[in-house]
Each structure stands twice: as structure tokens, then as C-alpha cells.
Chain A
Amino acid sequence: MPKVSVEDLKAGMKLAKALSRGNMVLLGEGTVLTETWISRIGDMGVDAIFVDGPSEQPIPKEEAIRQLDLRFRNVLDKPYMERIKKMVQEHIERLYV
């Protein structure tokens, strides 16, 4: 779930976390944003909110996996490292769906 700054919010985006002030929930999780909500969020002085969907990744998936291979190249024979690498690889692949 990407954190999007108020300037970049667009109508139709869905809140991934409730937006609250103190103990009061202002907009619940799953709220679909409208232009009105977006301008009110801005008026409240909120900088950024979490919306649904995968975060935008700075590099393409193939490049991310290539760098992952490079990072692990010296330790794959060490205990647990292959398993850790597999978990990180699965995590990275989930970021690109």
C-alpha cells in the first residue's frame, strides 16, 4: 500500500488505513476518495495517506531480482540464507502484481 501525498491523491483511490484524529475516525478504511474528501483532507493539514494498491517501484522487477541475486551471491551456502532469500524474493514478486 503506497503512501500518497495529498497533492497526488485522485478521486477513486481507496483508503488502505482509516484516517483518524486523536481517537476519532474521520474516514474509515476502504473509503473511496472523492474530490470533496481530497480537498478536506488537504484542509485538515494531513500530509499524506495510505491508499490501496502496490507501491510504485523505482526499478523493474527483473532488475530487482538481479540485484537480489547479487546481494546474496556469497552467502547462499550459509545456514538459513537460501530460505531468507526465497522469502525476500517472494516479497519482491508480490510488489509487482
Chain B
Amino acid sequence: MNNILQFVWLIPVLPLIGFLINGLGRKQLSKSLSGMIGSVVILISFILSVLVFNQVRTGNAATIHFFDFIQLKTLKIAFDFKIDQLSALFLMIITGIGFLIHVYSTAYMHDEEGKDFAKYFAYLNLFVFSMLLLVMGGNYVIMFIGWEGVGLCSYLLIGYWFKNEAYTDAAKKAFIMNRIGDLGFLLALFWLISKIGTVEYNQVFDAANLAKLSSTDISGITLLMFVGATGKSAQIPLYTWLPDAMAGPTPVSALIHAATMVTAGIYMIARSNALFSLAPFTMNVITVIGLATALLAASIAIKQNDIKKVLAYSTVSQLGFMFIALGTGNYVAAVFHVVTHAFFKALMFLGSGSVIHAMGGEQDIRKMGGLHKHMKITSITFLIGCLAIAGIPGFSGFFSKDAILAGAYGHNPILFGAVLFAALLTAFYMFRLYFITFTGSFRGTHDQEHHLHESPAAMTMPLIVLAILSIVGGYIGVPEALGGNDALASYLSPVVKSTIHHLTHNTEYMLMGISSTLIVISIGLAWSLYRKYSVPPANTGFGKILENKWYMDELYQMIIINPLKWIAAFFNNILEIKLIDGTVNGVGKFVNYSSRQLRWLQSGQVGAYILLMVIGMLLLFFIQLFL
């Protein structure tokens, strides 16, 4: 194709059409048809994305203008798509992994009724549409439209089984926390508009570089944007929604809360790297929060017993890693980790879905064990995912995590130590999960044991594809120290410019050696502890704190939710009921009272009427005389 860019509008529109067809026709379509429609539109979008990527790789980036969205005298916001190296990469990830998850879902969700099944695919397609808008937008407003859209779809999909109140509570929690972050993003947008009157990417970056924005402006705007990113990408303090979001179907967790939506924050910051590089204070904040989140979530994951919750906290922790990379100016490493994390985390989520499917809905790993001999494909692919996330050399996670570690070391060796500790925790809890679930002896009920079986091909094929990607996906970013040419960095260089210190090759070898050795030791520790796992007694002390997530939810309940409830109760009881209702009802009561008094005037006595007439005449007479 000569110029694929003229068809680029199809990439988001096709999932939108899939959403409309599945959504409106959900009562008429058969299950296989709606699954096929949902998957095929994503497949076509994926093929188009690959063609776009090919074109952009040779340097043909473009901004495609569609129409003027907002046109005021001073403010002009156009609806355009910016197809450049960064967005082309994300396009492939979203549509590619999206397609695999759609195929997986056709098997995973087949117990649902026809119209719920179609509703699921409609929501998934709408999500892909919103995410594509987010990454393709040519200015912050279009990104924000997609941003809001993915938040909405996250709510719809987490609360998919809406008859369960706990699930809808989780959906509301996700949406509300997202919205708190969105407020930060909006304020940043307004600040931008008030200062330079434009939100289009290139104009904003040029204005920042040419010092049209003061440094306080840039710090404020970037901080507010980061607040938006904390909401969307589950960092402290807005991360507690993500573990609760596991209430949704597992493919949803894989797509939204591992591979795509939660990476929107990283995309936003990577896209705005020109702005962020000019705001050192914000970068420090990002690093600190990323590190804190990575450590906190990893510590909680060590003691979790629900297979999906471990993966959820793992996601939060890995997102923390990505933010550490962003905070140290290592934008390329962050994007690299987004890509590799999408592969292995989606793989592990889908694998856990396969396990849950085989266990008949059971998610507690204490009741699993020894699943390897019943589900070989799931077990092996899950192991590959674990090896990748741990960062064993040769797997994709090694290269991306190493890039983050190297950047951290260049920034501050102590930071390197902390990040390395988080990586060790990652390897530990991930292999704890693997060993408890797949090795040892089965600890569930007899019925569950009979039901154990490998999943159908529609579920195992995506697992295999993602496992292969988890192995080879790292080779796009092999650093020079190991003989590669860091293809990813050079590919992204027109739009993403890292500001890291480059280390000598010897330092890099040393770092790689240290990290790999310690990670292997960590895995070995997990192997020795959990290889023959039997359910231990209840946790006490520090273990109990970790198991209860450091009581963060309870803390939020105490310091935020309860005061809000008191304020709401105050406003309701005192202001609303007594004051406003009192006033409105009081008017009514007054009218009632005065009408009862005025009724006495209508006595029917003619004499009284004549008296009133005379009084009236006298009044008029005197008024006319004196006024």
C-alpha cells in the first residue's frame, strides 16, 4: 500500500462498528457470531496497525486532520490523529493483544447467555476503540476523550456480573478513583489552555522549549498530569482499585488491567517527555512514588492467596517500575517495559483464567497444587511468563527490566539498590505463586480434581502466542552492551528522547550480573519454601499486615470516606432538611396560615364590606392629598 495513512481512520472505527453491532443486536446475534464479529474487527485493525507500523518505521510519521472539534476565537482544538513511532507501537500492542484476548474470551465466556455474551464483546470493542483514540490523538483533548472512554469501559467490564453487589462496588471504586486522577489531568489541560491557548502536542512542546511557559507552569502542569497518571495507572495513592478490579472476568483483567488501560499513564508521560524533561521536581516525585508503589505492592503480593490478586499487585508493582523509569528520564525503557509487561502479564492473567476455568471457578491457590500434570500447556506458558517477569536472561523481561535498572543506577546507586530489591521481591512472589499452584500435591476437593482438564484451543493458542512473544519480545531492545543496537531506542528517537546518563559497558555487565544472580537466588528461595506447599497456619505480625494490604483500604475508609459521609450527613440533615426544606415548606405553611386568617374577611356580612369600602375610600383620599 502506498499510503496506508489514508486508511488509518479505520483502525478505531472498526472496533466502534463492532461495538454497535454487538451492542444493538445482542438479543438477536448468536454467540459464535458475536464472538466472531468482535474478534474479526480487532484482527483487521491489527493488520492495518502492522501496515501503519511498517510505514512509520521508514520515517513516514504524519498528523492526519479530520475536522475542527472546537473552534472558538482564541481556542482551536482539531480532531486529528498523530501517527508517529510511539503511537504506531502502541497500536500494534493494543490491537494485537486485544485480538488474542478476544479469541480467548470466546471460550472463557461461553457459559454466559447470548445477550450477555454479546454485551461483553460490545464493551470490549468499545474499550479498544477508546484506547486507540487515546494513543492516536493528536492533542491532549482527544487523548482525554479516549482516557475517559477507557475508564468508562473499565467500569462497565468490572461490573459485568452486575447482579453481585461486591462486583459493582469494585467497579464504582475503580471509576471514582480514575475520576479523581482525571481531575488532575483536566486541571493540567486548563492550565495549558490558559497559558498558551493550545493543546496540540507539537505546539505545546515548542512553547515549553521556547520558554513561553515558565518553570512553575511546567512543574504544575506536569505534576497535575502525573496525578492523572496515578489514577489511571494505579500508583500511590490511587491504586487500591486495581486489586478490587479483579472482580471482572479474567480476560478483562488481562486486557485492561495488565496490557492496555493501565499503561495509558505511561503513554501520556512518554508522549509528553519534552515537557517532563523540563520539570526536575516532577521527575523526582514520579520516581519516589513509582518506587514506593513498586515496593508496597510487591510486599503485599508475597502474602496473597487469590491467584488474580497476586497478579493484580504484581501489575501495580510493575507499573511502579515503569514510573521509576519515567522519573529517571528513561522514557524508552518505560515504553519497552510496557511492551514486554503487556506480553507476560497478559499471558499470566490468561493462564490464571485457564486455571480458574479448570478449577470450576476456584481462585484460592491454597486449594490448588500439582496442576502441572493436568494442564501442561497452561503450566509451561505460565512458567515462561514467570521467568520473563523475574528477568531471567534471555527472556523479554530481562532486557526491559535491565534497562530500567541501568537507568536507575545512572541516576543514583541507592535507587538501583531499591529497584533491585523490588525486582527480587517480584521474582519471589511470582515463583511462590507458580510453585504453590502448579507443583506439589493437589489440595482441593475430590470433585474439583476430577474436573481438572486442559483448556480448549481457543484459550491455549493465545497462551502459546503470548509465551513466544514473552521470549522473543525483548530482542527489540537489546542494549549495546550485549551487542545489540537498541532498535527500540533508535526507532522511538524522533519522538521520545531519554535523558539518562549512559553507563560504561563494564558497569552494565556488572549490574546485569548482580541482578541476575540475586534473582536466581530469590527464585531458589521460593522453590525451597513452596515446592511442597501445605497450607500454613494463619499469618501473624508482619505477615498479617502484608496479607491485609497494609490496611490501606481501611485507612482510606477512615480518613477520606468517613469524613465525606459525615459532611454529607451534615449537609443532608441540617442544611437540606432543616434549612432548605424548612424554607420551602415554611412558605407553604405561611400561605396556609395567612389564608386561614384572611378567610375571616369573607364574613358575608354586608356591613363589614361597607366598612371596608369606607376605609378604602378614606385611604385613597388621604393618599391623594398627601402624596
Q: Do A and B bind each other?
A: no
- Residue positions of A touching B, CB distance < 8 A: none
- Residue positions of B touching A, CB distance < 8 A: none
